[in-house]
Chains A and B, each alone.
Chain A
Amino acid sequence: MDLGKGLGLLAFVAIVIINFYFLNVSQIFNQGVYQITNLRNSLKNPEFNFHFSENDVTVCVKNPNNFTITVYNMTGNYMYLPKSVVVYPHTEENISPVVTDYQAFANEVSSGDYNVSIEMSFLGLNVTFHEVI
């Protein structure tokens, strides 16, 4: 090692020591780790609960996240969403999809293999979920 690199290394170590002396590094570290563990818990799947009544269907969407979710579409046999619905952070929203043929729809649902795909958007991502109800 030559003089330049030796002194450079010395400067590096000196600055690191000064940083550690003047800043509460362990506190910054703990806060950082705490934030990351919180972030991991903060990304939760939104819940979709289907409620069936006499001749229509209501979907209760629960958004447990810190960001807004927009539900663009909810499609399956005999069902569609006429307009997109915005679900704000930590709120619930009741969505009423249009059912074109309720009898046929109810038959498929009761047989337990009704496929629904839900298109939504959050944080700029477009996400499509496929669910069986």
Chain B
Amino acid sequence: MMKYPLTALSLALNVVIALLPFYWWSYGIDGLIVIKDSPFQLYMNLLGQDLTIVEIVNLFLFAFRFYVITVSSIYLIYLYKGVRKTYGTVYYLSYLYVLDPVILYLAFNYVLPFLGYSTSYPFFIIGKERMELSYSNAQISATVFSYPTLAYWFSLASGIIYLASRVLKR
């Protein structure tokens, strides 16, 4: 195990991250819609109401926690016996989160115009921005926000350790 400290640390952090009950990112449009999520849980609030259908998704995401914990734990046991196996799912997930704002940007600027809305959605990853939307005879101006939580930075840091363990073969 001491031969591969980075791999051991990365696997152990996977277990810790899968156990943490925090959301990774929160984003939304004013009071219209608020979304908080992590790969292990999801929360949605639409027009001031918590959506209960999300609980169905959460059943599977909860089980996914145990998948990550089991795989990481068993790889740690392998490592203890001298066989090095790396597990990159948490790494990929933490990096894919940066893609979310890109997907939103494309959806607002290229998909909504097809549905008759004209929008000007600014491209940004973290922070809050003003957004304009117009549909038939109405113009809507709203604040869009997107913030990562401390748990997200922790996951991203764990992703970097994973990457280092792969590159350095440690």
Minimum CB distance partner of A67 in chain B: B48
Verify A42–B56 contact, CB threshold 8 A: no
Minimum CB distance partner of B134 in chain A: A128
Verify B47–A66 contact, CB threshold 8 A: yes
Contact A35 B52, CB 8 Å, known A4-B78, A127-B138, A130-B137: yes
**How far is B71's CA from A83's CA once the two chains are assembled, in angstroms?**
63
Q: Is B59 an interface residue (CB 8 A)?
A: yes
Contact A125 B53, CB 8 Å, known A2-B85, A39-B46: no
Minimum CB distance partner of A128 in chain B: B139
Size class of the A contact interface (CB-based, 8 Å): 35 or more
Which of A10-18, A47-55, A70-78, A106-114 binds B? Answer: A10-18
Verify A5–B71 contact, CB threshold 8 A: yes
A/B pair count, beta carbons within 8 Å = 110
Which residues 19-58 of A sit at the B interface, judged by CB distance below 8 A?
19-20, 23, 25, 28-29, 31-33, 35-36, 39, 42-43
Q: Is A93 an interface residue (CB 8 A)?
A: no
- Collect the chain A residues with CB atoms within 8 Å of residue B98's CB: none
Contact A12 B74, CB 8 Å, known A28-B55, A32-B55, A43-B47: no
B interface, CB within 8 angstroms of A: 29-32, 46-49, 51-56, 59-60, 62-64, 66-71, 74-75, 78, 85, 87, 137-143
